[in-house]
Amino acid sequence: MKNNMVEYRRKFGYSQEKFAELLGVSRQTIISIEKGKYNPSLPLAMIIAEIFQTNVENVFILEETDYKK
Amino acid sequence: MKNNMVEYRRKFGYSQEKFAELLGVSRQTIISIEKGKYNPSLPLAMIIAEIFQTNVENVFILEETDYKK
DNA sequence: GCTTGACGTCAAGCGTCCTTTACTATACCA
DNA sequence: TGGTATAGTAAAGGACGCTTGACGTCAAGC
């Protein structure tokens, strides 16, 4: 699972801290998602896409390894 | 968080069990998501949307209470 | 009546998501 | 030099996503 959060965030001029506030999560959560440490929950992902005025699929990108069992 | 999984699943003619197999998760997981017990993870939600040939936002619907702190 | 398919409940266990707190590094600017 | 903003790491703890296994219900068809 890859994501374009950094690009979108920069495009909108938010620091990690401001963005975290906007979303109502901790800065650590933003860092972890951006660094690919883990995936956001579905509601969080949807709010992120909403803020960036796009849809989930444009911000988060599925990879072959995601859920191939 | 609401979702239209039952409608989509019926539309595609899948039983819960078949659908679970397709996704590579347990039937219990399908039941829990359909019943609103919890939200799927982001990758699972994306695969669900992909199977239904639509995007995440059409299957899962954010509500005010999601992530309002 | 019995079986089969589809749907449902409950519970224990494990890994992931998210939090808080504390600390480090770099760059910029007074 | 010292202060501020931004981004990063680490670790402990709680809540949630998902699993497995066992069991219950209801309708359809033999």
Domain A2-61 CATH (choose: 1.10.10.10, 1.10.3720.10, 1.10.260.40, 1.20.58.2030): 1.10.260.40
Nucleotides of D under 7 A from a protein CB: 5-11, 16-22
State pLDDT tens for residues B22-51.
Answer: 999 999 999 999 999 999 999 999 999 999
Residue B59: both structure tokens together: 């299957």
CA A46 from chain centre, in angstroms, equals 9
Nucleotide with the nearest C1' to A43 CA: C17
User: What is the residue type of A67?
Assistant: Y
Q: Do A45 and B42 form a contact (C-beta atoms < 8 A)?
A: yes
User: Residue A45: its chain B contacts at CB < 8 A?
Assistant: 42, 45, 56
Across the interface, of B60, B68, B69, the residue whose CB is closest to A42 is B60
pTM attached to this predicted model: 0.92
Q: How far apart are CA B15 and CA A14, in angstroms?
A: 45
A69 — pLDDT class (breaks 50, 70, 90): very low
The tens digit of pLDDT for each residue in A10-41 reads: 999 999 999 999 999 999 999 999 999 999 99
* Domain segments of chain A as ranges: 2-61
Cβ atoms within 10 Å of B11's Cβ, excluding its own: 10
Contact check, Cβ <8 Å, B62/A47: yes
Tokens of A20: 């975290």
Question: Which secondary-structure segment (H or E) carries A60?
Answer: strand A60-61
